[in-house]
Structure 1
Amino acid sequence: MIKIFGDWDNSYEILPHYLEALKRENPGTVYEVSSDPVDGGERRFTGVFWAFGPCIEGFRYCRPLLSIDGTHLYGKYKGVLLVATGVDADGGLFPLAFAVVDVENTENWAWFFACIRYHIPSVGTRSITFISDRMKGIPRALQRHFPPPHAHRYCLRHIRDNFKKKYGNAQVQDLLWQAGCATEKYVYEQIRERIKFTSRAAHDWIETSLGPNNVDKWALCEDGGRRFCMMTTNASESFNGVLRGARGMPIQALVAKTFYRLNKFFVRRRELGENMRSQLTPKVDEMLAARIVQARSFQVVRYSFNEWEVLEGITHRENRSYKVNMLVDRTCTCTCNVPQLQLIPCSHVVAACSDLQGGARISHYEFVDAWYSAYNYQQTYKECFRPPYDSRHWTQDGPRILPPLYKRSAGRPRSVRIRNSMDDGREGARRRNKCSRCDQPGHNKNRCPVSIRR
């Protein structure tokens, strides 16, 4: 480990010099090393924040949305890696800012958000929506540095997982998920009534734990289009998985890993953007193509130059009616609420557009927001990373940084985490341990029947 990634203790000493080398070759890169003074003019490491210039510039063309999450480091020294991840025009994860702190608490989250607001102008000047789990320190920290008009939303997957610990009924869990993802208020209220009828205790948990005044934080129908139909923190958790191996490295190697990983992202996606021939990104084109097919079975009734009724179903009993409005400023609304929440026309709007004839014809592509455009995608990855100079060219100014006091005890740490649906590749599945001798589940090698027979 020392030969490949460097010494653990020395890594903290060279960290500021390495970050300064990155900043010198990559304009716009920002970092902040937090430390406490100790005797002899030295300082003790307490935390570090960093964000690369190309990411800061590219985030201006991403949706005003940040998924935030923390994950534990498992190297020689304890700590928590905090990550703020955006979403690009094609729905890909876009890591923006990182920090390493000792523990995940209100003060450290507040420091992380303060660094984001101070060092990344495109975050402070826009109304950003933050999606996170329900850790108590995050709302308090956000309230300090990102009060309204910024918004905070909960990850629905974490809510369902917490709900599952109290109520293992799979039917009620599915109903909770459906209520959170419902785009229509009428559908949301119907599902809530079904939850109340199925389990009064589950209904009371939702009212008590989530609160009747916080429906907008977890239910999509009350979101107002702030979360762009992104219901989970999968973006930040996915990047934590990308850095899984780096989380056991010395601190300077961890920062270097994020640098080279993001450079790889930018190179690959820059080439993908150059090959785009449509005005929209590939995933949005696929989504609209599916909605065009769906719209072909609808019945359309026009009432005025900008108002339609779209009917689903073949028989009168199956019909569900939706009201579509197309406004002069090239915006559209539908009673299904999808265009207002996602900023992409739903299948009902597509059907209404097909009803127009001649010069009055309007393409449904005109109602797709610019956040999903190929231009935004190309601009997101336009800036290039540049390699830093090696240690021979690093500056040696500043006090010596000592490693933190939160040192991990010797030996392999025992895993005490209880695995749940969020850790498994398939929702709701439980991973079963296998015997290392016969590769069969249900026992270990000490109780293996093969060895017993011998």
Structure 2
Amino acid sequence: MATKKVIAICKAGGQFVTKKDGSLAYANGDANGDAYAIDIDHNTSMTDFMSELAEKFEFSWEAMTLKYFLPGNKKTLITISKDKDFKRMISFSADAPNVEVFVLPKEANARNVSNMPASRSSGTTASEAVVPEVSGGDVVLGGDDDDDMITDDFGMDLVIIPDESSSLPCNFVLTDEKQHLKAAQQWENTITGVDQRFNSFIEFRDALHKYSIAHGFTYKYKKNDSHRVSVKCKAVGCPWRITASRLSTTQLICIKKMNPRHTCERAVVKAGYRATKGWIGSIIKEKLKAFPDYKPKDIAGDIKREYGIELNYSQAWRAKEIAREQLQGSYKEAYSQLPFFCEKIKETNPGSVATFTTKEDSSFHRLFISFYASISGFTRGCRPLLFLESAVLNSKYQGVMLVATAPDAEDGVFPVAFAVVDAESEENWVWFLENLKLALADPRRITFVADFQNGLKNALPLVFGEEHYHAYCLRHLAEKLNMDLKAQFSHEARRFMLNDFYAAAYAARPEGYYQSLENIKNISPDAYAWVIESKPHHWANALFEGERYNHMNSTFGLDFYSWVSETHELPITQMIDEMRAKLMQSIYTRQVQSREWVTTLTPSNEEKLQKEVELAKSLQVQQSHNSLYEVHGESINVVDIDQCDCDCKQWRLTGLPCSHAVAVVNCIIEKSPFDYCSRYFTVESHRLTYAESINPVPNGMLMMTTTAVEEPPVEGVVVSVTPPPTRRTPGRPKSKLVEPIDMIKRQLQCSKCKGLGHNKKTCKAVSEV
């Protein structure tokens, strides 16, 4: 089997120079250097490769050193010293079009590295200039296993310790704590000596901070005020000193005295010395922007490796929070922007509702948002069906998001309104529902699928009255039943009861519902009493008077909750705007998607109806009386075509005619099954749902604060909003919503007696003699 060829572009006659960003560039000599291309693969030996290079460049191959860069890393040269290194280079470069190999005479190695600018090489040794910086493992000095070692230009042995969790082969770190780490070398000359000038004391302190890190020592202030800064090395007896003060008749700061000599043993800076969380945050923010899941332990490791500063976990975590705030904006300022932000939502999206309340001390209390596109889409195209759910926010100031979502014609999630409140309570649900009712102004009788706890049981009838319907979320109800019976019954008994409970809920006809209840009663009269007291007319299909289209759980909008989990750590205005952007994109995507549909019903409903049409072909229809028809198949069903009802109840439950109804319709001249489908499943309704678009709120508007708006406050709007008093508690927050428990598990069956609820080891059946 042939192996992939790699083109090795071999260069000689030049030298390396260091750029400002710390990367290395290969500069050709006066004769423009030489270049030579060789195709190599895993069958190529290092001996053959070097022999060809020796012939081409006229070097003695024993006097040559080969080096190359890892893909994507121009700061570190890797040395090829044996065949194993050569094979690694081929593997690392397998996905690249080529690999550059630099041919250097061994005696010139030290000279080539020392050609780096003084700002980079001062105070460093040659070995420090070639320490690889690949993530994934560790390399330590010493070691005596030749198979796992590489040798740098200066004879220093580096032992490779692979890291199986990394996608890269290994990480190289010198364990000599006295070395100057490459990331800090650029700061070695931030302090040059007496007469050096700075624009401010802040600039001087920052330069001093970087200088101490680059040179690996700690310091303390003897004097630090608006006139003079005097600093000494923290090590006892060390003579290093520096003093800076304001230059007479100017605003400039000048170094007046400096003793640059150290007698202390400088080493890795311990536990966050001078590494304020703000300073570390400013260093890591770019990496955090590229990798939002940048972990505190990785931050601490990178800071130690690159700057020689040791951080504990909490220091790294706080630095990450600061960096996040530097990238995303201040949480505190975001709350102060709320009045302005709400006004801009209503200005850029006319007809939208954006309102908030504060507590007596002006701290944030509640925020309600419903965009006009959502309001219009629900009232014009969606079924009168809303799912109410809550999601905990693991943001800096915590809180809970209350959400109202609706299903579109394809049963896709259509967010209608959401709110951020301090806690899930009856009071907050009432406030949310009152704003929702005002926003929708929908005359239809709405069915709400929602939990029966956390205040919703009382809040819904209080706001919407008894003319609307409250369908209890079956998942929440089943979880409560399981917990309430846990202490009284075995797992197996509860499993049977929950099976029967679900069967009772989904039963379309009363006889199926009552049979399931009787099964529960046979297991336990107490469980039967619990089910009866749970108000089955709120959750059983056979008894429920509203229309919920067979949607039994309030967790319909799980896709929307994934949006929440992606944005909940942002400041509040940015979180809302990110969700607005996601909703805007979702609406646009579905607008474009529906333009291609040419059927009467949406694709999934068209498919469902066609299945019923196929089943109807085998049925026989007899007219009974006026609009009543008798349909014969495996059973006999009565269809009332005028009332759009069949005694199988599937038509009423789903909104699409069942096979019995389709068989009757086929017997009626000039009628089609499409005429008896709910209008909410048509392509037209789907397009009406997504007819309106959400407009962006310009980014510049979010950066302005209310204090910058010199206008009289709008009546009813509190201009000053401060963060809520509640902050996130210590400990790692949950990263995602808890999934519903799996309460229906496979039966445990004994292989000996075939009984349920035990295995053969615990079987008590009497063995046959």
TM-score interval w.r.t. the shorter chain? 0.7 to 0.9
- Of residues 201, 218, 223, the one that matches 2:544 is 223
In the alignment of these two chains, the number of paired residues is 403
The RMSD of aligned alpha carbons is 2.3
Bigger shift: residues 277-286 or 347-356: 347-356
Residue 421 of structure 2 aligns with which residue?
101
| Amino acid in structure 1 at the alignment position of 2:407 | V
Residues in 2 aligned to 1:423 and 1:200: alpha-carbon distance in whole angstroms? 25
CA distance in 2, matches of 1:131, 1:414: 26
Structure 2: 5+ residue stretches without partners:
1-323, 714-718, 747-769
Shift of residue 120, structure 1, vs aligned partner: 2.6
Paired residue type of 1:244 = S
TM alignment of 1:5-404, pairs within 5 A: 5-38=328-361, 43-60=362-379, 61-122=381-442, 125-165=443-483, 166-167=485-486, 168=491, 169-208=494-533, 210=534, 214-304=535-625, 306-313=627-634, 320-327=635-642, 331-356=643-668, 360-391=669-700, 396=709, 397=711, 398=713, 399-404=719-724
Question: Once the 2 structures are TM-superposed, how far is the Cα of residue 423 of structure 1 from its aligned partner?
Answer: 5.3
| TM-score with structure 2 setting the length | 0.50
Distance 2:700 2:617 in 1: 63
Residue identity in the other structure for 1:207? I
Change (3 A) 1:171 1:297: farther
1:231-283 Cα offsets, whole Å, 9 max, x none, are 11122344113321212222112101210110111011101221111111112
Letter in 1 for 2:336: E
Deviates more, 1:290-299 or 1:273-282: 290-299
Q: Any gaps of 5 or more consecutive residues in structure 1?
A: 314-319, 430-454
CA distance in 2, matches of 1:131, 1:85: 10
- What is the Cα deviation at residue 378 of structure 1? 0.3
Letter in 2 for 1:249: L
1:81 and 1:100 in contact (8 A); partners too: yes
Indicate the SS of the match to 1:81.
Answer: strand
Q: Distance in 1 between matches of 2:454 and 2:633?
A: 44
Structure 1 residue 340 displacement after superposition: 2.5
Moved more, 215-224 or 233-242: 233-242
Opposite residue 354 of structure 1, the aligned amino acid is N
Question: Secondary structure of the equivalent of 2:337?
Answer: helix
* CA distance in structure 2 between the aligned counterparts of 1:105 and 1:135, rounded to whole angstroms: 9
Q: Secondary structure at the match of 1:243?
A: helix
User: Which moved further from structure 2: 105-114 or 224-233?
Assistant: 224-233
Query: How many Å separate the matches in 1 of 2:728 and 2:625?
Result: 70
Q: Comparing 241-250 with 106-115, which one deviates more in the overlay?
A: 241-250
Higher helix share: 1
CA distance in 2, matches of 1:231, 1:25: 37
Give the corresponding residue for 1:451.
Answer: none
Letter of the 1:240 counterpart: Y
1:368 CA drift (Å): 0.6
The SS at the match of 1:228 is coil
* Bigger shift: residues 232-241 or 218-227: 232-241
Report 1 or 2 for greater relative contact order, CA contacts < 8 Å, sequence distance ≥ 6: 1
Corresponding residue SS for 2:423: coil
**Contact (CA 8 Å) 2:657, 2:676: kept in 1 or not?**
yes
Q: How far apart, CA to CA, are the structure 2 residues paired with 1:392 and 1:366?
A: 49
Work out whether 1:4 is the aligned partner of 2:4: no
- Tell me by how many angstroms 1:410 deviates: 4.0
The DSSP-based 3-state class of the residue aligned with 2:482 is helix
Please tell me whether the aligned partners of residues 69 and 237 of structure 1 are also in contact (alpha carbons under 8 angstroms): no
**Matched residues in 1 for 2:430 and 2:326: separation?**
36
